[in-house]
Amino acid sequence: MTTQFSNNPQTSRQLYINGGWSAPSNAATLPVINPATEEIVAEIAQGTSADVDRAVAAARAAFAGWSTTSAQSRALVLGKIHELMLERKEVLAQTLSLEMGASINSARAMQVPLAAEHVRVARDLLSTYRFQTVQGGTAIEREPIGVCGLITPWNWPLYQITAKVAPAIAAGCTVVLKPSELSPLSALLFAQLVHDAGLPPGVFNLVNGSGHEVGAAMAAHPDIDMISITGSNRAGALVAQAAAHTVKRVTQELGGKSPNILLPDADFAKAVPLGVMSAFRNVGQSCSAPTRMIVPKDRLAQVEALAAATANAIIVGDPRSEDTVLGPIANEAQFNRVQTMIEAGLKEGAKLVCGGLGRVQGYEKGFYARPTVFSDVDSAMRIAQEEIFGPVLCIIPYETVDEAVAIANDTVYGLGAHVQSQNLDLARAVASRIRAGQVHVNHPAWDPMAPFGGYKRSGNGREYGVYGLEEYLETKAIIGFCGASESTPHT
């Protein structure tokens, strides 16, 4: 696979600060591993707190000007970013496949176009969003919060960058981005793309590096007004703790263990294969993946057969191949985590329907996990409670709809959920009882305007659409805006 990074490794060893590429404060680097081959394909700069200081200073200096630009001006720049993303979609897709193992088809069909959609939505919202409204004699102003620190994960690298950067820029904020050090190459391409779109210096800055160095420095920085992180619960908690000293806003999109309830009247021949493929999308490396399939006990054998047939038909292999459906797990640590959890399921007595431990046959190199289905899973088992983040599905039986809802809610997470039924009223009623930030009924099309975020330990705040834009805005009341003169009490 050929990319600018394999041809010119020096490309990746710089930071993007104040409108240009610059050397980091030290010469240390971090390797980027191709999960399909386990080979180093690039090295990135290992930024430090000093680099964060430079990036934040640039963002702070740019904020005064960018925050006062017109919505139309910001929309024009976002439009250019969107245009360039579509023009460069193939190199972006190839780079995503290289750095985190996405099959080239899924990179082309999902990773890149859905990332571009976040930019388009942010651009389009600027033509309709009302940054000022009037209530009686009071004006309600929605103003940019300031300098935003954005920390993004390795599983949907470009998609999560645009989900944060686009609304922040649309709101009039300036940003410092720390992409995951495990899949940072698409972020570097995005930085060049933003530069080519003509975004003013300092509005967007990128500092590569580790979470414990760069991420921690951003979270604690007194001149960063907001932190938005997508990552593990452990990382989210550490960021919140570091941010607490400066009382900055923190939004978190964290873990999930999403249920998929198949109600007794569901079309099982259709719903089960769709459920399996939804759980295994992106090799199961999605925080909202519906990895707990909750099914009527008297239909368990049918569900097992359908799930096994679907999982066994999945082509796992070289992500460069047009025939591949699932590539490798994105990194070695995650591959090992998946193996540990499969072993836990076996030890706890879950029924192994298909898949299991070890690499896919024929692959001695590369982090290729076997699509695995467990059945007769109890909610107390680790595989039913802990986020696995791999192609592992748990089938859990129920006897009543009330029990199905209770199982769905029996987790510390509350990010996504699914309900399948041919009775839309029944599906809606069940959906309303599930404690999750998003519930999908009968596998609908993706909606980039639908707010995304979690209940419980899945996080705080929302992304996407209007709700995502408003995370980057402060609310100001100007009382007496329309001429009222009498004094009113306030606190």
**Domain CATH number, residue 302:** 3.40.309.10
Per the residue annotation, which of 287, 304, 354, 394 is the catalytic one?
287
- Per-residue pLDDT tens over the stretch 123-132: 999 999 999 9
Pull the structure tokens for residue 410: 């029996």
Distance CA 263, CA 423 (A): 9
Q: Please check whether residues 53 and 187 belong to one and the same domain.
A: yes
From edge to edge, which strands make up the β-sheet containing 147-151? 20-22, 15-17, 204-206, 174-178, 147-151, 226-230, 249-253, 459-460
Give residue 485's pLDDT band: very low, low, confident or very high (50, 70, 90): very low
Q: Identify the pLDDT of residue 358.
A: 97
Q: Please check whether residues 331 and 399 belong to one and the same domain.
A: yes
Q: What is the mean pLDDT of residues 231-258?
A: 96
Instruction: Give the dihedral sign, CA 299/370/184/252.
Output: positive
Q: Is the pLDDT of residue 486 over 60?
A: no
Judged by average pLDDT, the poorest of 6-20, 160-174, 255-269, 435-449 is 6-20
Beta pairing, strands 174-178 & 147-151: parallel
- Number of Cβ within a 10 Å radius of residue 7: 8
Q: Please check whether residues 349 and 413 belong to one and the same domain.
A: yes
Percent of the chain exceeding pLDDT 90 equals: 95
Q: Is the pLDDT of residue 327 over 50?
A: yes
- Per-residue pLDDT tens over the stretch 361-418: 999 999 999 999 999 999 999 999 999 999 999 999 999 999 999 999 999 999 999 9
Whether 145 is in a domain gets the answer yes
Quote the domain boundaries for residue 416. Answer: 259-441
Q: Identify the pLDDT of residue 490.
A: 40
Whether 482 is in a domain gets the answer no
Active-site residue flag, 354: no
Q: What is the mean pLDDT of residues 246-258?
A: 97
Q: Please check whether residues 246 and 286 belong to one and the same domain.
A: no
Q: Is the pLDDT of residue 11 over 90?
A: no
3-class secondary structure, 391: coil
Q: What is the mean pLDDT of residues 423-438?
A: 98
SS3 content of the chain, % helix, strand, coil (to 5): 40, 20, 35
Pull the structure tokens for residue 421: 């039924």
Q: Please check whether residues 238 and 382 belong to one and the same domain.
A: no
Listed as own residue / partner, the contacts of 385-389 with beta carbons closer than 8 Å and 24 or more positions apart are: 385/257, 385/411, 385/412, 386/257, 386/341, 387/255, 387/256, 387/257, 387/287, 387/413, 388/284, 388/291, 388/337, 388/338, 388/341, 389/155, 389/284, 389/285, 389/287, 389/334, 389/337, 389/338
Q: Is the pLDDT of residue 66 over 80?
A: yes
Whether 82 is in a domain gets the answer yes
Strand partners, 295: 397
Q: Please check whether residues 340 and 277 belong to one and the same domain.
A: yes
Q: Is the pLDDT of residue 73 over 50?
A: yes
- Per-residue pLDDT tens over the stretch 262-282: 999 999 999 999 999 999 999
Active-site residue flag, 253: yes
Burial class (CB in 10 A: 0-12, 13-18, 19+), 438: buried
Q: Is the pLDDT of residue 110 over 60?
A: yes
Whether 384 is in a domain gets the answer yes
Q: Identify the pLDDT of residue 482.
A: 85
Q: Give the CA-trace dihedral at 155, 159, 162, 167, to 10 degrees.
A: -100
Helix (H) / strand (E) element for 93: namely helix 89-100
Q: What is the mean pLDDT of residues 53-59?
A: 98
Assign residue 59 a region (left: φ > 0; alpha: ψ between -120 and 50; beta: otherwise): alpha
Q: Please check whether residues 211 and 275 belong to one and the same domain.
A: no
- pTM for this structure? 0.95
Q: Identify the pLDDT of residue 12.
A: 81
Q: What is the mean pLDDT of residues 153-169?
A: 98
Beta pairing, strands 392-398 & 372-375: parallel
Q: Is the pLDDT of residue 488 over 50?
A: no
Q: Please check whether residues 469 and 381 belong to one and the same domain.
A: no
Q: Is the pLDDT of residue 487 over 50?
A: no
Distance CA 386, CA 296 (A): 23
Higher-confidence position of 234 and 3: 234
3-class secondary structure, 34: strand
For the chain, the domain total comes to 2
Distance CA 236, CA 251 (A): 9
Whether 487 is in a domain gets the answer no
Give residue 4's pLDDT band: very low, low, confident or very high (50, 70, 90): low
Q: Identify the pLDDT of residue 489.
A: 42
Going by the DSSP 8-state scheme, the letter that residue 370 receives in this structure is: P
Q: Please check whether residues 390 and 268 belong to one and the same domain.
A: yes
Q: Please check whether residues 465 and 384 belong to one and the same domain.
A: no
Q: Identify the pLDDT of residue 5.
A: 54
Residue 345 sits at φ, ψ, to 5 deg, of -60, -40
3-class secondary structure, 319: coil
- Per-residue pLDDT tens over the stretch 16-43: 999 999 999 999 999 999 999 999 999 9
Q: Please check whether residues 183 and 300 belong to one and the same domain.
A: no
Whether 127 is in a domain gets the answer yes
Q: Identify the pLDDT of residue 6.
A: 47
Token look-up 């090992």 returns 336
Distance CA 232, CA 254 (A): 5
From edge to edge, which strands make up the β-sheet containing 351-354? 351-354, 372-375, 392-398, 292-296, 259-262, 416-420, 438-441
Q: Please check whether residues 413 and 328 belong to one and the same domain.
A: yes
Q: Is the pLDDT of residue 7 over 90?
A: no
Per the residue annotation, which of 117, 181, 213, 253 is the catalytic one?
253
Whether 107 is in a domain gets the answer yes
Q: Which CATH number belongs to the domain containing residue 56 in this structure?
A: 3.40.605.10
Q: What is the mean pLDDT of residues 447-471?
A: 98
Whether 488 is in a domain gets the answer no
Averaged confidence pLDDT in the chain: 95
Q: What is the mean pLDDT of residues 344-366?
A: 97
Distance CA 133, CA 136 (A): 10
